[in-house]
Structure 1
Amino acid sequence: MSLIIVANRAPFRLTAEGLVPAVGGLATALLPVLEARGGTWVAAAEWGEKGRTAQPRQSAIRLERVFLSEREWQGYYGGFSNRVLWPLCHYFLDKIELRREYFQDYLRVNRRFAEAVVRIYRQGDTVFVQDYHLLLLPGLLRERIRGPLGFFFHIPWPSSGVFRILPWGRALVAGVLGADLVGFHTWEYAENFLRTAAHYGFPVEGNRVRIGERTVRVEVHPLGIDTHRFHELSQSPEVGAHARSLRRLAGVDRLILGVDRLDYTKGIRERLLAYERFLQAYPHWRGRVAFFQIATPSRTQVAAYRELKRQVDEVVGRILGSFLREDWVPLRYFYQTYTQEELSAFYRAADVALITPLRDGMNLVALEYVYTSSEGVLVLSNLAGAAEYLKEALLVNPYDLDGMAAALDRALRMPQGERRERLLALKARIQVLDAQSWADRFLSSLEAG
């Protein structure tokens, strides 16, 4: 008996020596479990990746690719996944593009994934399907396999009223209910799913949903970070030296940090506007504080993301135009990708992390900052899944500019003793959410039945 992980992306990157493990996210959580059990990771290969069939080096893991045409990739991933499901689940209803051809491509690709899984499946194998790209897959597999089948949804499941906007809503919920166990990061998301299932006529009792003769369990299993890895980074002399150089670059008493993909769900523009409000409302901090915002390029082919970059660039320019002095740079904007080690240096350098997504499934950056920092303060959006667990953070409404500005002032003035007390409590909570424990907990529950 082995484990089959199914996800849109492969957990490896291609190098001159072959495929090597990626760092962070699902790869960190699932690769050690897959390595220990032996098994296969099934992932899409974009139309531009044809011919890349290398296997991971020195690993018991097999990589199975589902090769897609350009049309399939653009419709399934660029279309239905990112222009329909992503904005819907994050409550950005004005960005949804309800095009039937997107759903047809999504269905076609989910069927292609099902064929790939059935081809390698052996009686008794456990199948674990990941995320919003593959909502139909559990239902397609249930028709053809009988072993343990789990599904995890890594972004927010929206309210029933919002989900019902989708013409294909019932088919998607029925697809998810092909699993034996469905997992979410928070009870809010799980309860939203249960209400959605009930709306479509599936009987719900407690955390169980009946579909035909089967009962599907719905559970909460919050995903965290690789705590061992980030503890090492918090102690690394090289990371410490880089952090000190960043402090010198800032040239001020206090450093605020934001780290995100450049995505409209992350609230970067609103955060910059809040920092602008902070400098206006608390002028005594001018010349004493700086803000470093890292924005990793994301989905640059999508018009909404290009427009977001234009808006963010405009706010950055206005802040610098209003407050820049010869002896003080109030804001530095880094539009680039960093390694985990480089990000950890930013974490260690910052006195305050301002992590304020407008909606987020969990937000692992908040956890990474806390676990790497020695006495920093986390200011966190109350609309991030992590807010349900990180109660010692300063929680803010990411739409409330005045509230975020006030939280920044409070964080920067917080006494050292309170900072350390809050940080220790947060580290203890994050230790419980360790990424590899997440995978073990979910799979143990799935296989126990």
Structure 2
Amino acid sequence: MSLVVVANREPLRQERGRWVPAVGGLATALLPVLERRGGTWVAWGEKEADAVPRLAHPPEAPRFTVRRLHVPAREVTGSYHGMANRVLWPLAHYFLERVELRRAFYAAYQATNRRFAEAVLEEWTDPATPVWVHDYHLMLVPALLRAARPGARIGFFWHIPWPPPEVWQVLPWTRQLLEGVLGADLVGLHTPEYVANFLATCRTLPGAVVDGQRVRWQGRTIRVEAHPIGIDTARFAQWAAEPRVRERARRIRRMAGTPLVVVGVDRLDYTKGIPERLAAWERLFERYPQWLGQVTLYQIAVPSRTRLPSYRLLKRLVDEQVGRINGAYMRDGWVPVHYLYRAFTPRELTAFYLAADAALVTPLRDGMNLVAQEYAWVTENGVLILSSLAGAASVLPEAVAVNPFDVDGLADTLHEVLASLADEPGRRRWDARRAALKERVAALDVHRWAERFLASLEGSPVTLAGASPG
């Protein structure tokens, strides 16, 4: 059976005049599914959508279509840069002080969601085909599709944290957004905690009845399930085995010039905890000066949302921290922090993972965090230090859990981990935990995630309005 995928981001990108699969994220998970099943991916065509509204892929033997929506610039400003990035993103990550409530944002968000729903209805030629809607950009789409096709099978997946109902009370549009999501038959989130928070939020909706992990709403039954997403394990294993990647890893270690190497990989976003991490790195040298000249941090920060003033301020703060740490502790050619402000391909990141004795994955809040899984899967003798506030912590219990807000505690944990890695017997103590993490990452593989969700969606009974809810 074919499939309609609805997501804000396109699954293809232009490279040397050709359209090729995008790297990472949903494209990795769902392009193989669409190639097998056929169907359509509906997305915002960020560039030249008027000129190229549809793409057939693969071009030599098309298996599915990408419908590229043109969204007017003013609507993008209000819906994407406004409602999505300045309201829903900070709210879902518990940064209420960053939420900017503007009615113009919500009006633009409504218009964009209607635009997506209308495009889906144009492409959705077979009502028996399931539709899978993704993420916080498109919360209203499931209900819009349900109103047009009551008997359809619709799934929705939320890729970031779902906070408890008291957080949602900040928004004047929570009811409308929740009603939009409940247009789906199956709502997926990454962790049982997010499922519990979603169900608790549904209890605040007048007329909704929560029964276990089901919500009865308007004569229908909606199931809510945890489906933790994973990585493309086969692809990362292939990259990790490539001689040129392994040579690159050796060069990274030589450039560091220290016995131990630590890596951090993040988008430059206030949710990722980079300033707190750098503060802990600085505190490590203050409290444990024996590590001066013995360990190097590679901090990769991928540019993100650079048009927003808050993100430009964050970059300035991080730049200043790195400069202060390096200025205070640099000696004899050793640089405590190698700060790399640019994007890297997954293959390039694999070399950093192989080179690093430990990874610092310390977001202040995160829906899942795939860097944690990537490092745990690729590393051969390293230790994963992971924020307890990332969704990944619930599926990777063998990682070293830390509180990213506790700078002193993080510095102490770093010292303990580095001390354990300083000799071979200490390293061997991590072998069992490392092996267990690899087993967990293998089980979470992103392709299995997609198939599990779709199997659940397609196996779920649909109760039409007016019928007795199950």
Find out whether 1:67 has 2:78 as its counterpart. no
| Other-structure match for 2:56 | 55
Equivalent-residue separation in structure 1 for 2:190 and 2:363 (angstroms): 16
Out of 133, 146, 151, the position equivalent to 2:137 is: 133
Equivalent-residue separation in structure 2 for 1:84 and 1:194 (angstroms): 21
Find out whether 1:194 has 2:199 as its counterpart. yes
Equivalent-residue separation in structure 2 for 1:416 and 1:47 (angstroms): 49
Alpha-carbon distance, 1:218 to partner: 0.2
Find out whether 1:115 has 2:118 as its counterpart. yes
Distance 1:120 1:316, change over 3 A: same
Equivalent-residue separation in structure 2 for 1:50 and 1:264 (angstroms): 34
Equivalent-residue separation in structure 2 for 1:17 and 1:32 (angstroms): 22
| Other-structure match for 2:432 | 421
Equivalent-residue separation in structure 2 for 1:327 and 1:364 (angstroms): 33
The one-letter code sitting in structure 2 at the alignment partner of 1:126 is P
| Other-structure match for 1:5 | 5
Does the CA contact (< 8 Å) of 2:236 and 2:347 recur in 1? no
| Other-structure match for 2:386 | 380
Equivalent-residue separation in structure 2 for 1:203 and 1:443 (angstroms): 25
Does the CA contact (< 8 Å) of 1:139 and 1:177 recur in 2? yes
| Other-structure match for 1:264 | 270
Equivalent-residue separation in structure 2 for 1:373 and 1:293 (angstroms): 17
Deviations 1:105-147 (A, max 9, x none): 0000100111001111112011000000000000000011222
Alpha-carbon distance, 1:34 to partner: 1.1
The one-letter code sitting in structure 1 at the alignment partner of 2:39 is G
Percent of aligned positions that are identical: 53
| Other-structure match for 2:423 | none
Deviations 1:193-243 (A, max 9, x none): 100110122110100011111010000000000011111122111110000
Q: SS of 1:151's equivalent?
A: strand
Distance 1:325 1:49, change over 3 A: farther
Equivalent-residue separation in structure 2 for 1:42 and 1:434 (angstroms): 24
Find out whether 1:406 has 2:406 as its counterpart. no
Does the CA contact (< 8 Å) of 1:261 and 1:295 recur in 2? yes
| Other-structure match for 2:292 | 286
Alpha-carbon distance, 1:419 to partner: 2.0
Which segment is superposed worse, 23-32 or 296-305?
23-32
TM (norm. structure 1) is 0.98
Q: Give aligned pairs, total.
A: 449
The one-letter code sitting in structure 1 at the alignment partner of 2:229 is L
Find out whether 1:162 has 2:162 as its counterpart. no
Please report the RMSD computed on the Cα atoms of aligned residues, expressed in angstroms.
Answer: 1.1
Equivalent-residue separation in structure 2 for 1:123 and 1:138 (angstroms): 14
Q: How does 1:20-419 map to 2 (within 5 A)?
A: 20-46=20-46, 49-53=49-53, 54-56=55-57, 57-58=59-60, 59-121=62-124, 122-145=126-149, 146-201=151-206, 202-414=208-420, 415-419=426-430
Equivalent-residue separation in structure 2 for 1:197 and 1:354 (angstroms): 35
Does the CA contact (< 8 Å) of 1:381 and 1:397 recur in 2? yes
Does the CA contact (< 8 Å) of 2:276 and 2:405 recur in 1? yes
Does the CA contact (< 8 Å) of 1:46 and 1:69 recur in 2? no
The one-letter code sitting in structure 2 at the alignment partner of 1:55 is A
Does the CA contact (< 8 Å) of 1:6 and 1:130 recur in 2? yes
Alpha-carbon distance, 1:272 to partner: 0.3
TM (norm. structure 2) is 0.94
Which segment is superposed worse, 401-410 or 53-62?
53-62
Equivalent-residue separation in structure 1 for 2:12 and 2:42 (angstroms): 12
**Where does the alignment leave 5 or more consecutive residues of structure 1 unmatched?**
none
Find out whether 1:432 has 2:440 as its counterpart. no
Alpha-carbon distance, 1:317 to partner: 1.0
Equivalent-residue separation in structure 1 for 2:316 and 2:37 (angstroms): 47
The one-letter code sitting in structure 2 at the alignment partner of 1:426 is L
The one-letter code sitting in structure 2 at the alignment partner of 1:90 is H
Q: SS of 2:203's equivalent?
A: helix
Q: SS of 2:197's equivalent?
A: helix
Does the CA contact (< 8 Å) of 1:344 and 1:372 recur in 2? yes
Equivalent-residue separation in structure 1 for 2:121 and 2:429 (angstroms): 55
Alpha-carbon distance, 1:417 to partner: 1.3
